[in-house]
Structure 1
Amino acid sequence: MDRWTNDPRVAKETSSRFGLAVAAVGAGVVGLVLLTFVLFSSSRDAPVSNISLSEALETALAQVVTFRSPALQPDGRAAMLVQKREAAMALRDRLGPLAAQEPALFALLNGRLDTAQKSVRIASAYDVDIAASVARLRMDYTLAAQLLRRALEQGPDNALQLRLSLADILAEQGRVTGDVEPMREAVALYQDTIIPGVEDPEELALVTNNLGIALQGLAVQTRNTAMLEEAAMAFAESLRIAPDGGGSASTKANLASVLYDLAVIEPSETLLAAAETALRDAVQIGTTPMMSLYQRQLVSVLLLQAQNPAQTPPFDEIDQLLQAVVYASPPILTVNQAASLYTKFGNVLAQHGEIAADSGLLVRAAQAYDAALSRVDQTAQPLVWAGLQANLGTVNAGLAGRNVAGYGYEQAAAAFRAALGTYSAQGASLHWAMIQSNFALTLEGEAARLGDVNLLNESLRRYSAALDLLEDIDPAMARQVRQNLTLAELRTVEMQLQMSSSN
């Protein structure tokens, strides 16, 4: 296997980074928790009146709205929008006739925010906080922030709580939209105004955790490593303040997320070990609904650790965790995310299988690549699909060379041809040349095994085709392919001499 063309741009097709999702909990701190609803509604035929919604409404809200913000989920904006719409509709269904009696609530839940603003009269700062929470549920962060700023202008007694709500909304807005300014404002609010005013240790720990979330989001957007380290310190401080608090499991997971990000920027076994420890603690003490998310993060950490060839990765544990995450109910991964995890698992299995000459690991790598391929749409993601085929071809070629049953030259050749066809159609010249070279090496090995000069000649043609392209676009790779071509030419001469002498 020493002569395989192994370029990180091609040979191992992976996503550039599989970031860890951030989870956070806490009543009224990160999540959308609506405990009391007081709305002022109006109609054309009746004057505005004060209507207190029933306990049934409060119970319905508590059942539908979770303790943590959907913006901190790993599925991205599109899936989050669907989630919020489903939550709003579920709430409306639970309310039944009561929703129809409340024009303002009905309008908010259906996204008719202009109508809602006209029909809701703000009588107190507390009412504004409630209305802002519903606007946040609809992902109208601009309206939510406007309502909270309006309430703060009145100088209310609960100004600290309103600022906390505003900071949470701004942090979520920044993470969802990628806009750094809301996150900058959120960080300033947490650091300068909110944290100095919080006295209760557990609440302070939760707020400090939220500061860490905002810092991490801002650091990622601005590529600021120092700020990422600040986020890690915020999470560590939160755990110091309340090591056994209600949010300690999610804070440990958040700390692991930042440590992972830092280890991606500058590889560090120490940081990854600390991230692994934090996540294992989170799995031990976390709640059941969060377990799949923590397991997903742990898979990512273990896979990154496994890239170190000196390590002996816990492949069986990774496999079990991966199965649990991929088939979690409710699902926490998109199809593409599952494919990415299977690809990374295949990569580390192939790497260690090649180093240790372990056919069992190579078989598992082929199975992981097959699992990834089953989740990748060739039409929608042709280069990802082709990269997986190329990886599968390389692993199958290695297994064929070891005479592993069920993995022969035909499987490797089919995978390489599939990759070459797609790369050619996509105009991916470098990728095409690299895989052409690997295919040539496979042909050369099969020719030597069978004593087939025709296969060897095809190998020479493929080396030459790859070399023609690489001479102009990648001289270093061209040198490697030229060496392989020279060795193959010598083998051809030897084979022809053997054939002549035998005749």
Structure 2
Amino acid sequence: MAEPEPEIQVKRRRIAPKALIRFKERIRELIQRMRGGSDDPVQKAIGSGIAQAAPGGTASVTIGWTPECLRQLGLMVVEQRRDAEREKALKDLGEQLQVSTEALVGFFGILNVNEVPPEKLAHTLAEIAQRHRDLIYRLDSLDPEDPAISALIDEARGVIERADSDAAYDRADRLLGEAEALDLQAIQRAEALAQEAQAAANRRRINAASTRLERGELSLTRLDYLQAALHVKAAADQLPAEEDVLRANYLGRYANALYRHGDEKGDNAALLQAIREYRQVLHLCPRARVPLEWARTQTNLGTALATLGARESGTARLEEAVAAYRAALTEVTRERGPLEWAGIQNNLGNALTKLGERENGTVRLEEAVASFGAALTERTHEREPLAWAMTQNNLGNALTKLGERENGTARLEEAVAAHRAALTIVTRELGPLMWAGTQNNLGNALLRLGQRESGTARLEESAAAYRAALTGYTRERVPLIWAVTQHNLGTALALLGEREKSTARLEEAVDAYRAALTERTHERGPLDWAMTQRDLANVLAQLGEQKNDAARLEEAVVAYRAALTEYPHERDPLDWAMTQRNLGDVLARLGEPENGAAQLQEAVVAYRAALTECTRERAPRLWADTQIILALALKRLGERENGTAHLEEAVEAIQLARSEYHNAGVVGFDAEFDELLSAIVQMIDERRRMTE
């Protein structure tokens, strides 16, 4: 409520006796006109509005008072001179304006204090009366619940109805102020009670959320990650709106449960949801407010991105994972938290290793080795033996990938040493999954060594390591990791079968690859699925060749074509070209019977597809070899046709291959080239003579 205005000093003016006599006479005349009508040019109006005067006339209120009469009456009121005539005029004017005589006296006091000019008296008086009536009406309309407030308002209304002075108005204002104060006090009490009730409700919400969270922990104990995620998300939804920090904590746990399910059960949708939730947590916990929590969430986000990226083609997710880990390292420094810093370095190394696998060159792999080396400066054998073993295992993976791209076996030997060092700490009893993973990775390093060495000793060790891993990696517990290990076992068995000329080993390899494909599906990971299809096709082709089994060859064609639907043509064009060439070889073998022209045509298509990437500039010797086998397929086609087109194409392919052999300084094949060319040219000549 506004403060009361300062008291205004009323200027009182005395009225001369003659003027007073004339004023009284004028009042009598006006009263008579009101009763009996008048021809006065003053217009009349209904109610308390202001009539507009005729041109040249004066404005008056609806009862017909001129400004001069109102001024004179106002002076009499202010002078407090009473007589019957004045009282009668006040009474009639009050009835016309629908206010009490006392209130009208108060109005004239207001007009006098504010020195309202005569020409505005009628209008201002009507306005004051209207406001007075509206105020009384509004006060009547109020319906306070508190009896004390109701009594104050009723008393104020009564005072206002007969307010004849500033003191009366001041009293009414004080009464309304007291009513307002009582309401404000009641509001404060109600708000305090509401706040207490809301606080109690919020405590209940937090307690309920905490209980629901424990249900999630119980589900985690049972390794039911999806159910745990549902419980934790429900707990987060129960929290009060203002609990951003606690909500961020719960959502982080929700994302963790989704990640565990997606990681172990091969559910990419769960991983995507986990990534979304981690990003929401980053929004709730900005770096400026909680830098360490922000950094830890970046680490978890990086892990989810790396896991999903490993299953997808391309490198976008893996690049995001590397960025997330590096962001985390801006806050989690070696000085601030050496062991946590080492853990993030380890994770960064893993993401860089995955990126390095998909990119040409060794830059990413060298960065990965550097990250693992940094981690091992804090994750020492004495300080954190299990973490040290884990990083040794990861270092071995990066070294294996580097060894694959370098000549010699030094990096591969280092990789084997790193994995075996890890196994001195990680036993099956201590951590069956970690032990199984290290056995799998040891098998990978031994497999690569076995490929570069003669004999089968390293390959046997590799197969043994994979089989050991499969005792820890069960399909039920970790289906995708189990599938990866089955694939790796298949590769080791295939190499053993090739070196031993053993179809039994090759059949075991087929079984391992097909087991892998039961979980390594196209939907879960198209790139991994394509790789397994390709390697399965290679073994089926070998079996078909060794056993002269057309059914196995047909199966190989199906597997090659499946692989080529998802094979990373742009990322590894030469590998794609070799798959096309291998498909061509199987089709050419199937096309050997007299009714195999269709397969030979398909073989030619596959060889030519291979040559689009296996170019003379990119891989000259491989290009030349592919030209030779293309020529052989064209020759076979030409032998079964009447024309010479395919035979002429065969001659061209042989000549191209021969020129590359000569350019490369490869000698000792001229006799074979001459014999092949002679046979084809002879067929061409014979066909031309037949058509002459």
TM range (shorter): 0.5 to 0.7
| 8 A Cα contact 1:396 1:408, kept in partner | yes
**Map of 1:172-183 to 2, 5 A cutoff?**
172-177=347-352, 178=364, 179=367, 180-183=369-372
CA distance in 2: counterparts of 1:322 and 1:249, whole angstroms: 18
Between Structure 1 and Structure 2, how many residues are aligned?
398
Secondary structure of the residue aligned to 1:475 is coil
Matched residue, 1:216 = 396
Q: TM-score of the superposition, structure 1-length normalised? A: 0.65
Indicate yes or no: 2:518 matched with 1:324. yes
| 8 A Cα contact 1:389 1:418, kept in partner | yes
CA distance in 2: counterparts of 1:412 and 1:453, whole angstroms: 18
Matched residue, 1:207 = 387
**Map of 1:14-413 to 2, 5 A cutoff?**
53-54=245-246, 58-65=249-256, 87-91=274-278, 106=283, 108=285, 116=287, 118-120=288-290, 128=292, 130-139=293-302, 140-142=324-326, 144-145=328-329, 147-149=331-333, 163-177=338-352, 178=364, 179=367, 180-195=369-384, 206-217=386-397, 219-220=399-400, 223=403, 224-240=411-427, 243-245=428-430, 247-267=431-451, 268-284=458-474, 288=477, 290-308=478-496, 309=498, 310-311=501-502, 312=504, 313=506, 314=508, 316-327=510-521, 331=524, 333=525, 335-376=526-567, 383-402=574-593, 408-413=599-604
Indicate yes or no: 2:617 matched with 1:437. no
Indicate yes or no: 2:678 matched with 1:489. yes
CA distance in 1: counterparts of 2:329 and 2:251, whole angstroms: 25
Deviations along 1:154-177, one digit per CA (max 9) or x if unpaired, are xxxxxxxx5443322111122324
Shift of 1:88: 4.5
Amino acid at match of 1:264: R
Q: TM-score of the superposition, structure 2-length normalised? A: 0.49
- Give the stretch that moved more between structures: 426-435 or 275-284: 426-435
| 8 A Cα contact 1:423 1:432, kept in partner | yes
| 8 A Cα contact 1:171 1:186, kept in partner | yes
Secondary structure of the residue aligned to 1:401 is coil
Amino acid at match of 1:210: M
Shift of 1:375: 1.5
CA distance in 1: counterparts of 2:275 and 2:519, whole angstroms: 27
CA distance in 1: counterparts of 2:375 and 2:412, whole angstroms: 19
| 8 A Cα contact 2:521 2:529, kept in partner | no
CA distance in 1: counterparts of 2:279 and 2:648, whole angstroms: 71
CA distance in 1: counterparts of 2:569 and 2:328, whole angstroms: 41
Amino acid at match of 1:341: T
CA distance in 2: counterparts of 1:399 and 1:85, whole angstroms: 44
Question: Which one scores higher on RCO, CA 8 angstroms, separation ≥ 6?
Answer: 1
Shift of 1:382: 5.2
Secondary structure of the residue aligned to 1:244 is coil
Shift of 1:398: 0.7
Shift of 1:456: 4.2
- Give the stretch that moved more between structures: 418-427 or 351-360: 418-427
CA distance in 2: counterparts of 1:348 and 1:106, whole angstroms: 51
Amino acid at match of 2:441: S
Q: Which sections of structure 1, spanning at least 5 residues, go unmatched?
A: 1-25, 28-35, 37-50, 94-98, 100-104, 109-114, 122-127, 154-161, 196-203
CA distance in 2: counterparts of 1:184 and 1:393, whole angstroms: 45
CA 1:214–1:387 in structure 2 vs 1: closer, same or farther (change >3 Å)?
A: closer
Matched residue, 1:39 = none
Shift of 1:422: 5.4
**Percent of aligned pairs sharing the same letter:** 18
